[in-house]
Amino acid sequence: MLRSKPGVRFTWANVAAALELFSLGWRIKRRQPFFLVSSAWLATFAVLPMALAAIALVGPGAQHIQPFVDLAGTDNYMAYVTIGATAMIWSTTTGASVGFVLEAQRVEGTLGSIWSTSTSLLARVAGLGASGMSVGMARTLIAFAVAWAVLRFPVSFDPLALLAVLAASTFGAGSFGLIFAAIVLRARAGATLVQALLFGMGILAGPAYPTTVLPDWAQIVGQLLPPTWMIRGLRATLVFNDAAEAWASVAVLSALGAVFGIVGMWLFTRFDRDARRRGHLEAV
């Protein structure tokens, strides 16, 4: 029992360090100039173009909406598309916030020196990644609010189901991001691969269209990605008012998050040892 106490103290020290890094990172990012303005720009550059494309397809007076209704199961195409677009912002920002923590430190030349501290690399990723995730959440909510203020589409509202979907989505996307972080730790060019994966998720998750329009293989791959289920859960809550579908998405997201978390931690630990042995920790 006595021999286990240092390990317990070490574990709690890393938890405290991760929380402190989260708080510090959030304060720094929140104080950046134009935080609110840049958040509103997300709606302009990432959400509204997709919504306007939907208007162009169905017609200004929605006279060509029937094919969309047949595919999506709703005529509320503005909410359908806007929710998909903002969900992808949330998912990709969450994954990138965790996945790019080490790449930023490698560029700054600090990645190789952090083993001289008592804080574990995983705690650093968790703390700084969580701060980036919190900023992404805030900006996504602002982007959705701006898009709704401009387009004024109707939405249903189930607070409990909505919060559950958002929490499970953050868990799933964050765990997926841990795999990205491991890839960046293993390969110097890992950030390029991570960016490609993030963009690929935007195609397979169906942000502006039902995934049924994709080839069969793409639909199968899409079922393994957190953004797909986040979009499905949010649409079930806000568009279709389908509580059963929303909670089913929560269950799948939680399961994916657990699997990706276990795999990500295993990869991270293995690539951590490999990076130190091979000298992959520095920028050059």
% of the chain at pLDDT higher than 70 = 73
Q: Give the C-alpha separation, 133 to 146, whole Å.
A: 20
Total tally of structural domains belonging to the chain:
1
CB burial string 151-176: b at 16+ within 10 A, e below: bebebeebeebbebbbebbbbbbbbb
In three state form, how does the secondary structure of 212-245 look? Answer: HHCCHHHHHHHCCCHHHHHHHHHHHHHCCCCHHH
Q: Give the C-alpha separation, 232 to 220, whole Å.
A: 15
Mean pLDDT for the chain overall: 78
The pLDDT of 136-153, averaged and rounded, is 83
Task: Specify the pLDDT at position 3.
Answer: 41
What is the DSSP secondary structure assignment for residue 209, as one 8-state letter?
Answer: S
| Interacting residues of 218 by C-beta distance below 8 A, sequence separation 6+ | 203, 204, 211
Lowest-pLDDT range, 17-26, 123-132, 173-182, 224-233?
A: 17-26
Q: Give the C-alpha separation, 243 to 272, whole Å.
A: 42
Question: 283 lies in a domain?
Answer: no
Q: Is the pLDDT of residue 94 over 50?
A: yes
**CA 11, 132, 7: angle at the middle one, nearest 5?**
5
Q: Give the C-alpha separation, 14 to 99, whole Å.
A: 19
Using 50, 70 and 90 to split pLDDT, how confident is the model at 5? Answer: very low
Task: Specify the pLDDT at position 12.
Answer: 67
Task: Specify the pLDDT at position 21.
Answer: 66
Q: Give the C-alpha separation, 227 to 173, whole Å.
A: 7
Domain range enclosing 123: 4-278
Question: 284 lies in a domain?
Answer: no
Q: Give the C-alpha separation, 11 to 120, whole Å.
A: 9
Query: 126 phi and psi, to 5 degrees?
Result: -65, -45
Q: Is the pLDDT of residue 17 over 80?
A: no
Task: Specify the pLDDT at position 243.
Answer: 92
Question: 125 lies in a domain?
Answer: yes
Question: 114 lies in a domain?
Answer: yes
Q: Give the C-alpha separation, 91 to 43, whole Å.
A: 15
% of the chain at pLDDT higher than 90 = 23
**Minimal CA–CA distance to 91: which of 174, 211, 190?**
174
Task: Specify the pLDDT at position 4.
Answer: 37
The pLDDT of 208-230, averaged and rounded, is 90
Number of helices (H), then strands (E), belonging to the chain: the values are: 12, 0
**Minimal CA–CA distance to 148: which of 82, 91, 208, 207?**
82
Task: Specify the pLDDT at position 8.
Answer: 41
Within 10 angstroms of residue 254's Cβ, the number of other Cβ atoms is 18
Q: Is the pLDDT of residue 118 over 70?
A: no
Q: What is the pLDDT of residues 220-246, one digit of tens each?
A: 999 999 999 999 999 999 999 999 999
Question: 85 lies in a domain?
Answer: yes
Q: Is the pLDDT of residue 126 over 80?
A: no
Task: Specify the pLDDT at position 168.
Answer: 93
**Minimal CA–CA distance to 101: which of 202, 14, 191?**
191
**Minimal CA–CA distance to 194: which of 122, 124, 106?**
106
Q: What is the pLDDT of residues 18-37, one digit of tens each?
A: 676 667 666 666 666 566 67
Task: Specify the pLDDT at position 90.
Answer: 84
Q: Give the C-alpha separation, 262 to 269, whole Å.
A: 11
